[in-house]
Amino acid sequence: MLFAVSTLAILPNPTAIEALKLAQEEGMELSELRETVEEIEMVDGHCHNIVEFDSNSITGGFVQAFTVGAFADADAIAFAQTSLSFKKGLRDVAELYGTEVSLQGVEEYRRVSGLQSITSTCLKAAKFSAILIDDGIEMDKRNEIEWHKNFIPFAGRILRTERVAEQILEQGLSNGSSWTIDSFTEAYVSNITLTVAKEIYALKSIVAYYGGLEINLNVTKTEAEESLRQVLINATKPLYILHHRNLVDYLFLQSLEIALSYDLPMQIHTGFGDRLLDLRKSNPLHFRSVLEDKRYSKCRFVYLDFGLAIPKLSMHGMISAVKDLLTLAPINKVMFSTDAYTFPETFYLGAKNSREVVFSVLRDACIDGELLISEAVEAAKDILARNAIRFYKISSSNITVP
């Protein structure tokens, strides 16, 4: 019985073979799909700033590129070295740099080459036409968005709304502002509105980190005001509104109103992240009440990108994650992103693994008779570039649409 099951799993069924034959008769080969996936200039709709080598946000050297999040403790850094994603990632980076496959070899190459040189190597090999940076992670010696344009044709900004709120409150600490919920909300809304006017491509919320995705849609001004008062009691810099749930929810709903009035996408982090995040509460199923609320039905947030899952999971995990997305989601709502941060290599690994995984998933869809190869080629272009270009409205003056 067991043997029969494994045999079935290994051999493609006759319909699959017929489908592949059909595709080949159509005059197209899988090599065309491979070529498209390997050559396309991708659009990374979600990533973060690269920082200098001596930034104090890098505590564990290059291995930290294989942990989750910009800050990692010693345990996470030690254990990361025994993960499948580290083993493969180290080989991929060593091959790119032409060094021996060892942590020492790669670290020595980075030190001798310097940040400019390795960034150039990684981003050239990643082959992006555009990246959109959420610069809301505070990191010491971080390079600003402009700096990234030295290596990529186009870099745009994503505005992290919780950080805007915290910066306003931090400034208030310096100049002795005494906020009411009304004066603070006004400052918050006008700050975001002014930033929108300077060209951003989306708003972003990390409400999943700040208590989870179950938003109280009926939070009152009085509740938010009390929450604000709690934040300001003994507040120091850097200031976080984390866990002050009524204020977080209140501001989140304000942000949705702004996203709606400017027709901006709202990025919402879901799923796993660094240790601040409670996975039980970051399941997007908790977000249902917002999705069903008529006030926000025109909000542009029901798309998916697979950043962080790629490249942080094993190869099996990455392929199964993207297959799961396509189980139900329309192809033109699924997007590549890296969620890369701090290390240029995270951009390279995100790009390289995404190409491998998208090829594998679409090839299987051809073998299973779901897509013709010609359709898989179009799907690859959509997932790796065109969906993001459309969704974030990246102008054709900045980018060539594949």
Q: Helix/strand/coil (H, E, C) string of the chain?
A: CHHHHHHHHHCCCHHHHHHHHHHHHCCCCHHHHHHHHHHCCEEEEEECCEECCCCCCCCCHHHHHHCCCCCCCHHHHHHHCCCHHHHHHHHHHHHHHCCCCCHHHHHHHHHHHCHHHHHHHHHHHHCEEEEEEECCCCCCCECCHHHHCCCCCCEEEEEEHHHHHHHHHHHHHHHCCCCCHHHHHHHHHHHHHHHHHCCCCEEEECCCCCCCCCCCCCCCHHHHHHHHHHHHCCCCCCCCCCCCHHHHHHHHHHHHHHHHHCCCEEEECCCCCCCCCCHHHCCHHHHHHHHHCHHHCCCECCCEECEEHHHHCCHHHHHHHHHHHHHHCCHHHEECCCCCCECHHHHHHHHHHHHHHHHHHHHHHHHCCCCCHHHHHHHHHHHHHHHHHHHCCCCCCCCCCC
Our CB check for Zn ion shows the closer of 44 and 356 to be 44
- Residue placing its CB nearer to Zn ion in the complex, 63 or 268: 268
Shortest distance, CB of residue 383 to Zn ion, whole angstroms? 19
The residue length of the chain stands at: 402
* Contact footprint for Zn ion (CB under 5 A): 339
Question: Least CB distance from residue 240 to Zn ion, whole Å?
Answer: 17
Closest CB to Zn ion among residues 45, 60:
45
Which C-beta is closer to Zn ion: that of 162 or that of 339?
A: 339
**Nearest residue relative to Zn ion (C-beta):** 339
Smallest distance, Zn ion to C-beta of residue 299, A? 20
Pick 339 or 382: Cβ nearer Zn ion: 339
User: Least Å distance between CB 312 and Zn ion?
Assistant: 12
Helices 14-25, 373-381: axis angle to 10 degrees equals 80
When the beta carbons of 202 and 366 are compared against Zn ion, the nearer one is: 202
- Shortest approach of Zn ion to residue 263 CB, angstroms? 23
CB of 68 to Zn ion, least distance (A): 10
Nearer to Zn ion, 70 or 367 (CB): 70
For residue 128, the minimal CB distance to Zn ion (Å) is: 16
Nearer to Zn ion, 48 or 363 (CB): 48
Nearer to Zn ion, 44 or 339 (CB): 339
Picking from 351, 335, 330, 347, the residue whose alpha carbon sits closest to that of residue 391 is 335
CB of residue 170 vs Zn ion: minimum separation in angstroms?
A: 22
Min dist. Cβ of residue 320 to Zn ion (A) = 21
Paired with 44 in beta bridges are 131
